[in-house]
Amino acid sequence: MNQNQLDRRRFLQATSAAALATMGMSAPRFAFGAAGETLVQPIPKADACILLWMAGGMAAPDTFDPKAYLPFEKGLPVERVMSTFPAINTAVDNIKITAGLENVAKVMDRGTLIRSHVQPDLGHILHSRHQYHWHTGYVPPQTVAAPHIGAWMSRVLGPSNPVMPAFIDIGQRLEGVGEKEELKAFHTAGFFGGEYGPFLLPYPQDAVGAVRPPKGMTPDRFEARYRHFRELVLRGPLGQHGSDHQQESMIRAMENAHRLLSSPDRAAFDISNEPKESYDKYNTGRFGQGCLLARRLVESGARFIEVTTEYVPFEGWDTHEEGHSRLEKMKQQIDRPIAQLILDLEERGMLDRTLVILASEFSRDMMIEGVPGSTAKDQSRAASDTLELPAHYGLHRHFTGGSSVLMFGGGVKKGFLYGETAAERPCLAIKDPISVTDLHATIFHAMGISPKTEFTIEKRPFYATEDGKGRVVDALFA
Amino acid sequence: MTFSRPSIRLLLAAMLCCSSLLTSRVRAAEVDFAHDVIPLLQKHCARCHSNGTYKGSMSIDTREALLETGVVEPGDSSASYLIDLVTSDDPEMQMPPKGERLTEEEVDTLRHWIDADLQWEEGFSFKAETYQAPLKPRRPDLPATEAGVDNPLDQIIFHYWKERGIQPPAPISDAAFYRRSSLDLVGLLPSADEVDAFVADQSPDKRAALVHRLLDNQVAYADHWLTFWNDLLRNDYAGTGFIDGGRAQITSWLYDALLKNKPYDQFVRELISPTPESEGFAKGIIWRGQVNASQRPELQFSQNVGQVFLGVNLKCASCHDSFVDDWKLTDAYGLAAITSNEQLEIHRCDKPTGELAKAYFLFPELGSVDAAAPREERLKQLAAIMTSPDNGRLTRTVANRLWHRLMGRGIVHPVDSMGARPWNEDLLDQLAVHISDSGYDLKKTLELIATSQVYGLESAPWDESAPLEDFVFTGPSPKRMTAEQFVDSLAAIAGVAPDKTENDDVFVEPVKSLEGAGERPFVRASLIQSTPLMRTLGRPNREQVVTTRPGEVTTLEALELSNGEPLSDLLAAGGQKLAANFGDLSAEDLCRALVRSALSREPTAEELQLLAETAGQPLTPAGLSDVLWCIVMLPEFQLVR
């Protein structure tokens, strides 16, 4: 064995997991922010972030921002309908939400409800564009591929546990669904490169499949295969080439991958290991299972996890007709698991250091597409001046003037209500409107990332929030 | 020697303001050096006090220079004489002495800027770069070299090495040469038999003959280079924009052009002044709804034409005068106006300026476009100027891209910054004139590179993190296999490939019309829609122009390659096939054959023993798929070196 091979062996054996996780990652440029001042990264309030994504446009008046309620009644003029669910009390005196969310109501004293999140109309309201905007902070199209907010966390913070992928995405298929190309466009680390991209787990129940040997391969065979590969690398002509960063990076990537694949932490991916009683509390379907998986992964040191009610055009929250009955089902899916997630994190003493956010690309309204005066095309499929069929009963138009966001943990105030929308139509945010840019700044801030953090791409700076101008909403923090 | 303006790369600033759209930006009190101050100084002061012109010995080139003038007191605008100068009514005293005065708002900006301590982006200077990339073609004088060195590229590089006392690397073996040139020129692994025959061949010019033979394989050549051009022209078979007709493929036009080796000047003309088959590139991607002014299709045209054909980055200048190079907002709009159906109002940072764009080309010295002519005529004129023999930038840009593909690093790096200094001007210029000399036949240029002695030398990686100006060329660099090469190589070794393409009429029919072209041995990866495996291996979405794919393997990729279904399924099928077809061979024989076809070399005894152990005895599909995995995961396999 020659000297190079010896070095190679030592390299492979001696390098610790922690060191490997940070190798190849250069520090972001903290030297200058948008106004030329030295940028100091804020002290993180949370170590992990879970984004609960209500894909398809969750109607605020039918979820977290109740307005005047009228039950279905044949012949009722639609303009009289504001909410299709009655309001219920929550654990917080001045906060009411809508029926069907009784479990979330009970934990409302653990977090903050924002009712004044606003989005631009972008001329033609499309889920794909608004989702891209929300997830990257940039409105498409962009001249460079913009990174997902999770990729920012991955790039700047890296994984908390070096064997865990830093950015995990649960519940969204990128193949076999409508608008899949549009979904792929923002489920990406963009110009950061694939190292920081999402680890995709579309089916929580099958998540363990992503970290165990391929189908039909026993663990022993899988281990033996990798052992043989390592031996081949060690004994092959690699050593002859000396230090070669390309080869080193390939070997290192394989090492990292197999470190996860042989780590005890991968048990976290297997939700069937969860005690039955706990599993049942979460098991309302894919989303509920996703919340359980997210909790398990955060416990094992994941950094950023998105759990989505999967986006499929005209399904889920994307209610262009039958809005009321559809929302009954959606609430059944989300209510228990979200509340359980908060309670579990709290019980484990992790809630304070875990930022949980629930958000959607926009809200909905019975009458208004976009905001008043918008030229956006009416996209309701159940257009009628009066309620004639149950299909007419629901909030079927995209509304960008005021949507709801929930935030728990990560230093966010408890039992707090922020912002307000008008009681009468149009239900615009009339107090403390908060843009995507500012909401992102706030999330980044809680995670210890300045909204002015920038990376250079094609000689230009690219900021964590648009132009580095995102403003942290300090009022949200305790 | 500076050529990348590293100082200005540090430029802070919301130069990316192109990205801001409709969302609330702006907090009035904040003064932003790049967006607020630079344009103001540029407009009112820079002409007389920067970049070599220093009236009254006053310079604003840098913060230090400005401080030296004594006219500003950082932190105190009221004590700064500069404010008196720009607000004075006294014609003897006021600045600027003639022309437009500063508006009140501008004076306020200056005040705020001074009060906030005169923030300045580190390294930013109004002084322009010294390197000016030449526009016209130039025929370099070739250095005298030893006898037997006929290739002009060799003559230039050997001279370059001699001057620097650099010892050339050793030539690679014939087998390695076959693997390298075949993967580079047609994207395919050679079979072990082909390599054997080549090694055994005693003719002295066999390497050149091999290069010819590879390039003459029209189908394999087109299948391979389709990947490169699809990336460059952001052409794909599926993707964003297609959903509502906002995008058009140019696949059949492009494939035909590659198959017939359409001269590059004609190729460019047909993309700029397109036929219905080739209009997808110029048309861009049309998004529904409002987009930032810098992303309307006409400006996409500017950006893409500039980047792809000229290595000019107009992304900054689509929004405002660029701070990183000399391109102006009017330049980007000038190019956009050539293709625009209507009068184009210039928008600065997404706000209308009231000014109408005037159609002109980035390099007016090459010729003018008649702004009054109809659109089709203007595009024809642009196409003619772009491909005029005087446009050395066009040929230099594509020459550099081809060199990059074959040698692993551009002569100008990165390949889209053609205003930067090449590490050897003679080499770039020689390649560029070779293109025009040979009638814009890109195969001839590939041939010139691949038949040079330098191309046949041992490769060594270059350190991408080292400063650009320190780069010294010491020989070819290894390239990572593209996703398509990886998938095709697997097909060649294990016989597993996609069944058919969704574009059969585009990819199969034209081939039938070729004389003497046989059928493809398997469906090439470049011809099918991207798959999860290919995405994992770096095939891009093609929403933006992509000229360089990532060179390194990531952990997520490694995970996907270790247990992801797409590769596992392929390998399992490969194992089945191998067991069925060669189950009667000994493990050693089969593993030797696999190594020979995958790595174009004999395995060592140690390797053979390890692989045979992996395969197990008797041979099973599972064991063989594991052998395949071990081989294709080797860096040696995944690199073209």
How many helices and strands (H and E) does chain B possess?
A: 30, 4
Q: Does the structure show a pLDDT above 80 at A430?
A: yes
Inter-chain CB proximity B565 and A193 less than 8 Å: no
Partner-chain contact A469 B18, CB within 8 Å: no
Q: Does B572 contact chain A (CB < 8 Å)? A: yes
Q: Give the position of tokens 């003038």.
A: B69
DSSP state of B457: B
Q: Distance of CA A425 to CAs A402, B203, B333, B585, Å? A: 11, 86, 43, 79
Q: What percent of chain A has pLDDT over 90?
A: 72
Instruction: Report residue B279 as tokens.
Output: 């209009």
Residue A7's pLDDT band, with cuts at 50, 70 and 90, is very low
Nearest-by-CA chain B residue for A162 = B555
pLDDT tens digit string along A353-399? 999 999 999 999 999 998 888 888 888 888 889 999 999 999 999 99
Query: What's the pLDDT at A243?
Result: 54
User: What pLDDT is attached to residue A28?
Assistant: 39
Residue of chain B whose alpha carbon sits nearest to that of A124: B289
Supply the mean pLDDT for chain B. Answer: 88
Chain B residues touching A123 at Cβ < 8 A: 288-290
- Asked if B608 has any chain A CB less than 8 Å from its own CB, the reply is no
Interface test with A, best of B5, B18, B19, B304 (most A CBs within 10 A): B19
What token pair was written down for B461? 């990686």
pLDDT of residue A31: 35
Give the 3-state secondary structure of residue B390: coil
DSSP letter at B242?
A: G
Instruction: Give phi and psi for A300, each to the nearest 5.
Output: -95, 10
- Is the Cβ pair B630, A125 closer than 8 Å? no
Give the amino acid at B179: R
DSSP string across B154-190: HHHHHHHHHHHTPPPPPBPPHHHHHHHHHHHHHS-PP
Instruction: Nearest chain A residue to B5 by CA: give it.
Output: A459
B568 in contact with A, Cβ within 8 Å: yes
What residues contact residue B551 under an 8 Å CB cut-off, 6+ apart? A246, B464, B479, B480
* Cα(A64)–Cα(A86) distance, integer angstroms: 11
Closest CA–CA distance from residue A120 to any residue of chain B (Å):
6
> What residues does A113 pair with on adjacent strands?
A406, A417
- Alpha-carbon gap, residue A425 to B174, rounded angstroms: 78
Q: What is the mean pLDDT of residues B573-599?
A: 94
CA distance B250 to B595: 39
- What residues of B are in contact with residue A158 (Cβ under 8 Å)? none
Per residue in B424-471, pLDDT tens? 999 999 999 999 999 999 999 999 999 999 999 999 888 777 777 788
CA-nearest residue to B415 within chain A is: A458
Residue in the structure block whose two tokens are 């949980």? A356
Half-sphere exposure of B90 (CA within 13 A, CB side): 5
pLDDT of B1 reads: 32
Per-residue confidence (pLDDT) for residue A428, from 0 to 100: 97
Q: Does the pLDDT value for residue B619 go beyond 80? A: yes
Query: Which range is least confidently modeled, A339-343, A473-477, B95-99?
Result: B95-99
CA atoms within 13 A on the CB side of B485: 27
Indicate if the pLDDT at residue A404 is higher than 80. yes
Mutate to test the interface with A, among B16, B179, B292 (most CBs of A within 10 A): B16
Q: Which DSSP letter does residue B354 get? A: E
For residues B19 and B292, the answer to whether their CB atoms sit within 8 Å is yes
Task: Report the run of H or E that residue B351 belongs to, with start and end.
Answer: strand B351-356
In this predicted structure, what is the pLDDT of residue B61? Answer: 82
Interface list for B 15-34 with A (CB within 8 A): 15-27, 30-33
Option in A209, A212, A246 nearest B639 (CB): A246
Q: Identify the residue among A223, A460, A462, A472 best suited for mutation to test binding to B, counting B beta carbons within 10 A and taking the highest.
A: A460
Q: What would the mean pLDDT of A411-423 be, rounded to a whole number?
A: 98
CA distance B36 to A463: 18
d(CA B20, nearest CA chain A) in Å:
6
C-beta atoms of A228 and B285 within 8 A: no
Question: What percentage of chain B has pLDDT greater than the value 90?
Answer: 59
pLDDT tens profile A147-185: 999 999 999 999 999 999 999 999 999 888 888 888 988
Q: Which of A44, A139, A32, A133 is nearest to A468 (CA)?
A: A32
B475 φ, ψ (degrees, to nearest 5): 145, 180
pLDDT of residue A193: 82
Average pLDDT estimate for A63-78: 96
Residue B388, min C-alpha distance to chain A (Å): 29
The verdict on a CB contact (< 8 Å) between A435 and B24 is: yes
Reduced to 3 states (helix: H, G, I; strand: E, B; else coil), residue B276 is coil
- Cα-based angle A368, A369, A370 (whole degrees, multiple of 5): 110
| pLDDT reported for residue B6 | 31
- Residue carrying structure tokens 């770096």: B538
| Helix, strand, or coil (residue B589) | helix
Å from B505 to nearest chain A CA?
24
Handedness of CA A142, A143, A148, A149 (dihedral sign): negative
For the record, the structure tokens of B175 come out as 């087998």
pLDDT recorded at residue A1: 30
User: Is residue A287 predicted with pLDDT exceeding 60?
Assistant: yes
Pair of tokens at residue A248: 């080193």
What's the whole-number mean pLDDT along residues A44-58? 97
Can you give the length of chain B in residues?
641
Listed residue (B422, B388, B416, B392) closest to B314, CA to CA: B416
Whether the predicted pLDDT of B119 surpasses 90? no
**For the residues B9-19, what does the mean pLDDT come to?**
35
Check whether A10 has a pLDDT greater than 70.
no
Residue B123: what pLDDT? 64
Is residue A124 pLDDT above 80, yes or no? no
| HSE-up of residue B195 (Cα within 13 Å, Cβ side) | 24
Tokens in use for B601? 């070399």
Contact A467 B16 (CB under 8 A): yes
Q: Could you tell me whether strands A111-117 and A403-408 are parallel, antiparallel, or unpaired per DSSP bridges?
A: antiparallel
Q: In this structure, how many other beta carbons lie within 10 angstroms of the beta carbon of residue A250?
A: 26
CB distance B12–A129 less than 8 Å?
no
b/e A71-107 (16+ beta carbons within 10 angstroms → b): eeeeebebeebbbbbebeebebeebbbbbbbbbbbbb
pLDDT band at A285 (very low <50, low <70, confident <90, very high): very high
Identify which of B401, B309, B324 has the alpha carbon closest to the alpha carbon of residue B361. Answer: B309
pLDDT band at residue A15 using 50, 70 and 90 as cut-offs: very low
**B275 interface with A at CB cutoff 8 Å:** no
pLDDT, residue A239, reads 52
| CA distance to B1, B2, B4, B365, B422, per residue, from B470 (Å) | 9, 10, 12, 33, 12
Q: Which two tokens stand for residue A141?
A: 């199209």
At residue A38, the pLDDT reads 63
User: To probe the interface with A, which of B38, B288, B562 has the most A CB atoms within 10 Å?
Assistant: B562
Q: What is the pLDDT of residues A253-279, one digit of tens each?
A: 898 899 999 899 999 999 999 999 999
Show the tokens assigned to A329: 């089902």
Mean residue pLDDT of chain A comes to 89
Residue of A nearest to B535 (CA): A194
Q: Could you write out the three-class secondary structure of chain A?
A: CCHHHHHHHHHHHHCCHHHHHHCCCCCCECCCCCCCCCCCCCCCCCCEEEEEEECCCCCHHHCCCCCCECCCCCCCEHHHCCECCCEEECCCCCCEEECCCHHHHHCHHHEEEEEEECCCCCCCCCHHHHHHHHHHCCCCCCCCCCCCHHHHHHHHCCCCCCCCCCEEEECCCCCCCCCHHHHHHHCCCHHHCHHHCCEEECCHHHHHHHHCCCCCCCHHHHHHHHHHHHHHHHHCHHHHHCCCHHHHHHHHHHHHHHHHHCCHHHHHHCHHHCCHHHHHHHCCCHHHHHHHHHHHHHHCCCCEEEEEECCCCCCCCCCCCCHHHHHHHHHHHHHHHHHHHHHHHHHCCCHHHEEEEEECCCEEECCCCECCCCCCCCCCCCCCCECCCHHHCCCCEEECCCEEEEEECCCECCCEEECEECCCCCCCEEECCECHHHHHHHHHHHCCCCCCCEEEECCEEEECCHHHCCCCCHHHEC
Minimal-distance CA residue of chain B relative to A224: B614
**Residue A404 vs residue B498, higher pLDDT:** A404
Average pLDDT over residues A394-415: 97
Q: Residue B292: is its pLDDT beyond 90?
A: no
Residue B559 has its nearest CB partner, among A33, A257, A462, at: A257
d(Cα B34, Cα B21) in Å, to the nearest integer? 18
* pLDDT tens digits for range B32-83: 787 788 888 888 888 888 877 777 778 888 888 888 888 888 888 888 888 8
ipTM of the complex in this document: 0.78
Q: Which of B4, B17, B21, B23 to mutate to test the interface with A (most CBs of A within 10 A)?
A: B23
